[in-house]
Amino acid sequence: MTDGSQSPGRVARACLCCLVFLAGCAQRPRGVDLPSVDPSEAAEFAIEHYDVNHSGAIDAAEMASCPPLVVARASYDADSNGQLSADEIERRLTRLYGPGAAMTGVDCAVAVGGRPLHGATVKFRPVEMLGESVKPAQGLTDESGLARIALEEEALPDDLKGAALVQPGLYHVEITHPKVALPARYNTATELGFDVDPSRRDGTSARFDLKSR
């Protein structure tokens, strides 16, 4: 007969299982809603706006109107023919915003003529084809010229407020400084771009060595 009590060994095993379960829960990543980008619509937008000769693909000259595509061409150009088709753009964005996608931290180093630029504001502005669900992010360079790019707090869930995170995707990069006059090609008419991709080492670390003229 039993009196309903458990043996010390059984209690210990139960406690151990409980601790393992709790530890596993603590290690699971927080659920964060990713941008609601429609890869098919984004690809159609890109072809409509950048394929000016209506060839059905975006060639190297046409990509110049969207600098981030120039920077990210190798990731999008699956057949390495130097052009981007709607299918290639759609496939790339489907992977970027797929089930394994996540926000990430992005470091950005800024220099002028090889010297770190302190006090520069670095803005990451999403390319238009991604729609409004991808939010801009920015950071301020420190004495070593390094900025931690981050979304505004209102774009983050409550349990991630204050975290320096960026959504994946293509961004125009705009760099300004309150005392150093930088050419328009780095800000108001920027030619800079970056492809935020947590799956690649070069997708979370940007470097820009600017010229003063």
Q: Where are the domains of the chain?
A: 39-96, 106-210
| Of the candidate ranges 44-53, 114-123, 159-168, the one whose mean pLDDT is the lowest | 159-168
pLDDT of the residue at 1: 42
Tokens 């999403």 correspond to 126
Give the integer Cα–Cα distance in Å for 126 and 167. Answer: 9
Sign of the alpha-carbon torsion through 79, 82, 87, 93: positive
Measured between alpha carbons, how far is 22 from 43 in angstroms, rounded to an integer?
43
pLDDT at 107: 97
d(C-alpha 9, C-alpha 7), whole Å: 5
For residue 107 the two structure tokens come to 């470091």
Say which residue, 12 or 103, is predicted with more confidence. Answer: 103
28 pLDDT band, cuts 50/70/90, is: very low
The reported pTM is 0.82
Of the CATH numbers 1.10.600.10, 3.40.920.10, 2.60.40.1120, 3.40.50.300, which one belongs to the domain with range 106-210?
2.60.40.1120
Its CATH class, for the domain covering 39-96, is mainly alpha
Q: What distance in Å separates the CA atoms of residue 37 and residue 20, rounded to the nearest whole number? A: 37
Query: What is the pLDDT confidence band of residue 89, given thresholds at 50, 70 and 90?
Result: very high
